[in-house]
Structure 1
Amino acid sequence: MKNDTIAAIATAMSPSGIGIIRISGDDALEVIDRIYRGKNKDKKISDCHTHTIHYGYIYDGDEKIDEVMVLLMKAPNTYTREDTVEIDCHGGVYVMKRVLETVIKNGARPAEPGEFTKRAFLNGRIDLSQAESVIDVINSKNDFALKSSLSQLSGTVLNSIKEIRGELLHEIAFIESALDDPEHISLEGYPQKLYAIVDNKCREIDSLLKSSDNGRILKEGINTVILGKPNAGKSSLLNVLVGTDRAIVTDIAGTTRDVLEEQINLGGITLNLVDTAGIRNTEDVVEKIGVKKAMEHAGEADLVIYVIDASVPLDESDFEIMDFIKNKHAIILLNKSDLSTVVDEPEVRKYVDKTILSISARENSGIKELEDTIKDMFFKGQVSFNDEIYITNIRHKNLLADAANSLKLVMNSINDDMPEDFYSIDLMSAYESLGLIIGESVEDDLMDEIFSKFCMGK
């Protein structure tokens, strides 16, 4: 039930200096009164001022469990807008479990994953987009993802969506009023006015949608596939970028037969690196499978890094790869610059027009130029956070697309001189799609799916 008092360990279940047990609900103060003892034994902790910290002990009956600090926060100025208590105990796994067991024994129940944030949403403290940004903050992999999630947590997406919905609702109300009272409210010339308004809202939504590609990349990382012939130096490059010997490197062609995946932070952005089997014609059944998987990964990648062994002439396999990357984001690396080379940039440009860099994976040269090129390719040389709103959630992106499609139907109806009641149907559809983003209209199963992804205690 919504008003049940819930409790959970809010810190990691591993030995640490401190552990936090969080309690929230109507009976949170009664629960802490039953198990906490401070210096002033005659005064209940629930009688103390809100947002205060108290030193004492947690007892299970007459048994002392741990020495603690207790944070007392009374509704409504709390994360959940309910009475909330946080017990700071020692961070041993066993002692945290004992404190939680004592809390549950005295009137609370175990919280479900994300239930504290779910209550914050249900009690109106945050909207659904802000709730989803909480888990994004926790799962942030780089500085930008963190700043973008914090921005959404502060309500940037909410404010933008509410503004668009407010204007759509105004037009829906006007149309309905005019249809109900045509004698006093005229719709003459209104379709042209509405067209301009809807066209402007479409542009605003399209602007948000355009941010979703960069938002997804900056949140989840650039899916990067390293491609090339056997023994070109792909695995050596992976090891250099990762900073450890992640891939086996030998002089034997075809050593890598399966894909290897690693994630690195590259100056504030995340690269999801995939090292693949060398591309060549082969009769080896296992190697054939590896080559097929390599091309499948490359086909889905945001970026392909094509490694050429510059110490040997180009052959048919190189030409096949160059043809494959013509319409993809790709960087070509002329590897083994520390050796006598027979392949240079002008020769490669005869077949494909891409950024070409000379590197030596063995001697770790040219790697900085590669990093700068990737930043320039995706972010115009800089990875910085400004006031622009980035859509990083695929659910939000899909609902924005639905809203944009509905608004385009309104514009089509105006162009086709359809009756005004057709306008309000599609305007309402766009209004409802946008409402699903911020949780103005949300079904229980969607809510359960969203909050089930949260960690326990949040």
Structure 2
Amino acid sequence: MLYADTIAALATPPGVGGVGIIRVSGPQSLAIAQALIKPRRKGVWRSYQMRYGHVLDEHGQIVDEVLAVFFKGPRSFTGEDILEIHCHGGPLPLRRTLTLALAHGARLANPGEFSLRAFANGRIDLVQAEATLDVIEAQTNLGLSLALDQLGGGLSRDLRTLREQLMYPLAYVTALTDFPEDDVPSEELQQPLQQAQSLLSQLLAGADQGVVVREGARAALVGRPNAGKSSLMNALLRTERAIVTAIPGTTRDTLEETANLGGIPVVLIDTAGITETDDVVERIGVERSRAALSKADLVLLLIDGSQPLSPEDLAIAQLTHERPTIVIATKADLGQHADLTALTQTHPKLRGSIAISSQAGTGLDYLGTMVAEQLLGGLPLSDARLVTNPRHREALRRANAALEQAIQGLREGRPVDLIAIDLHEAIASLGEITGETVEHDLLNMIFSRFCIGK
């Protein structure tokens, strides 16, 4: 389906840069190119051929020196005719060029409207559309790799295979229901349904891992003052982000930054040292530390390993008992004098302990591995394709539940019309992922997250 109107927008981030791109999509794209741009060399506009020239205003005055390329639909990103104008990356030439495109028949695109048109015109499915945003927002190489796999249609192919495996059983039980008087040949359905469930289970097996890789997690660094929290944060970030001094209580508030730990984007929360204090500001910082601890997916409990374990350390450890926790003995370069036995043997959610030195860099790589494995449920990343989108995960869970109902119904000899309902629900849930059975409100919600120009 082709839209009747033409849209235009800035396709590169606003601000000053070397190059800025104006993107136009719709039936008026070629006419706008002919009206706006005077090529250096005469000739017709050919698809996929870059042309050099100038953008001219309504008075024939030069607005900018540009390169422009025309893509003839349907062999374009949106499936429509597309024009891209590569301007100098200053706000003024870009704004004037976009204004001229709008004056010649285009309207300003809504957020995500180019990708929405690509989906509506069958150039991409909904998985690939969402993967486009994931590629843009990827924070780690692993997250980027997974997004590119989905953008290339990896997950879509698995979902098509699943749908095909379910369509014949659905057609068969529907025939039994709609034509009971006909002699429909008997078919064995358990095996094809179990094959479909096997593939569905493989996709679900890595879904929780995939969501963590895509969305990241939060890890709170807690401990008493001067335990080395800020030093560790700086070491993991590889930059001097937090102020570090020998004075206890330097950190008065929570500080958040994202680090790549084992391929997972982890929001590290540097907290104020938890201690009893009469200082009003420091007391507020301690309260915020407790709040950050309660909301963290993982707690990194820091103990000054160069000193004996103190009652204050044990008291802080008590506060972490509700959260998965890794105990970190810091300052390993100064020698280890803290005996962590009393702490590690009694912690109900201990996920490991490690000695590190932020100053010397000792143990930091292994700590990153420990954090990643814990956030991934204690399991290494699967070799199977990972589902990274929470919406996809929930739809797969509904499909799996419906398929289990169908398989159980076959075993128990339930009426075939009930089995048909279960199979139809499973297929519809899969269709929600690719966009085959998606509602308009869901489309608006998904594409509204995109930036204008994409």
TM-score (norm. length: structure 1): 0.88
Residue pairs, 1:275-424, within 5 angstroms: 275-280=270-275, 290-291=285-286, 293-322=288-317, 329-339=324-334, 341-344=336-339, 346=341, 348-352=343-347, 354-374=351-371, 388-424=384-420
Q: CA shift at 1:187, angstroms?
A: 7.8
Residue pairs, 1:178-217, within 5 angstroms: 178-186=176-184, 193-217=188-212
Q: Secondary structure at the match of 1:435?
A: helix
Counterpart amino acid of residue 198 in structure 1 = L
Counterpart amino acid of residue 65 in structure 1 = V
Pair 1:24-2:6 in alignment: no
Pair 1:87-2:85 in alignment: yes
Give, in whole Å, the separation in 1 of the partners of 2:425 and 2:372.
39
Q: CA shift at 1:267, angstroms?
A: 5.8
Relative to structure 1, the CA distance from residue 186 to residue 232 in structure 2 (aligned partners, 3 Å threshold; closer, same or farther) is same
Pair 1:429-2:430 in alignment: no
Give CA-to-partner distance per residue, 1:204-246, whole Å, 9 cap, x none: 2232122122212222334222122232121221122223333
Q: CA shift at 1:138, angstroms?
A: 0.8
Q: CA shift at 1:183, angstroms?
A: 4.0
Q: Contact (CA 8 Å) 2:222, 2:300: kept in 1 or not?
A: yes
Give CA-to-partner distance per residue, 1:21-49, whole Å, 9 cap, x none: 111111111111112212455x4xxx433
Q: Which runs of 5+ in 2 are unaligned?
A: none
Q: CA shift at 1:307, angstroms?
A: 0.7
Q: CA shift at 1:172, angstroms?
A: 1.4
Q: How many residues were matched structurally? A: 450
Residue 144 of structure 1: aligned partner: 142
Counterpart amino acid of residue 3 in structure 2 = K
Relative to structure 1, the CA distance from residue 354 to residue 109 in structure 2 (aligned partners, 3 Å threshold; closer, same or farther) is closer
Q: Contact (CA 8 Å) 1:402, 1:433: kept in 2 or not?
A: yes
Relative to structure 1, the CA distance from residue 33 to residue 250 in structure 2 (aligned partners, 3 Å threshold; closer, same or farther) is same
Q: CA shift at 1:405, angstroms?
A: 1.9
Relative to structure 1, the CA distance from residue 310 to residue 3 in structure 2 (aligned partners, 3 Å threshold; closer, same or farther) is same
Q: Secondary structure at the match of 1:135?
A: helix
Q: CA shift at 1:433, angstroms?
A: 1.1
Counterpart amino acid of residue 29 in structure 1 = L
| RMSD (CA atoms) | 3.0
Q: CA shift at 1:350, angstroms?
A: 3.9
Give CA-to-partner distance per residue, 1:283-321, whole Å, 9 cap, x none: 777666655544454444343221111233334443355
Which has the higher mean CA deviation after the structures are superposed, 265-274 or 446-455? 265-274
Give, in whole Å, the separation in 1 of the partners of 2:241 and 2:67.
44
Counterpart amino acid of residue 33 in structure 1 = Q
Relative to structure 1, the CA distance from residue 293 to residue 409 in structure 2 (aligned partners, 3 Å threshold; closer, same or farther) is farther
Q: CA shift at 1:402, angstroms?
A: 1.5
Q: Secondary structure at the match of 1:239?
A: helix
Q: Contact (CA 8 Å) 1:269, 1:383: kept in 2 or not?
A: no
Give, in whole Å, the separation in 1 of the partners of 2:297 and 2:428.
33
Residue 241 of structure 1: aligned partner: 236
Counterpart amino acid of residue 273 in structure 2 = G
Which has the higher mean CA deviation after the structures are superposed, 262-271 or 304-313? 262-271
Q: Secondary structure at the match of 1:357?
A: strand
Which has the higher mean CA deviation after the structures are superposed, 314-323 or 394-403? 314-323
Give, in whole Å, the separation in 2 of the partners of 1:295 and 1:308.
17
Relative to structure 1, the CA distance from residue 349 to residue 68 in structure 2 (aligned partners, 3 Å threshold; closer, same or farther) is closer
Which has the higher mean CA deviation after the structures are superposed, 54-63 or 325-334? 325-334
Q: Secondary structure at the match of 1:273?
A: strand
TM-score (norm. length: structure 2): 0.89
Relative to structure 1, the CA distance from residue 376 to residue 393 in structure 2 (aligned partners, 3 Å threshold; closer, same or farther) is closer
Residue pairs, 1:217-232, within 5 angstroms: 217-232=212-227
Q: Percent identity?
A: 38
Give, in whole Å, the separation in 2 of the partners of 1:207 and 1:297.
35
Residue pairs, 1:47-86, within 5 angstroms: 47-61=44-58, 62-86=60-84
Q: Contact (CA 8 Å) 1:69, 1:88: kept in 2 or not?
A: yes
Relative to structure 1, the CA distance from residue 229 to residue 40 in structure 2 (aligned partners, 3 Å threshold; closer, same or farther) is closer
Relative to structure 1, the CA distance from residue 113 to residue 397 in structure 2 (aligned partners, 3 Å threshold; closer, same or farther) is same
Relative to structure 1, the CA distance from residue 282 to residue 422 in structure 2 (aligned partners, 3 Å threshold; closer, same or farther) is farther
Residue pairs, 1:128-139, within 5 angstroms: 128-139=126-137
Counterpart amino acid of residue 455 in structure 1 = C
Q: Contact (CA 8 Å) 1:80, 1:123: kept in 2 or not?
A: yes
Q: Contact (CA 8 Å) 2:131, 2:150: kept in 1 or not?
A: yes
Give, in whole Å, the separation in 2 of the partners of 1:36 and 1:382.
57
Give, in whole Å, the separation in 1 of the partners of 2:76 and 2:319.
56
Which has the higher mean CA deviation after the structures are superposed, 332-341 or 76-85? 332-341
Q: Secondary structure at the match of 1:343?
A: coil
Residue 453 of structure 2: aligned partner: 457
Counterpart amino acid of residue 10 in structure 1 = A
Q: Which runs of 5+ in 1 are unaligned?
A: none
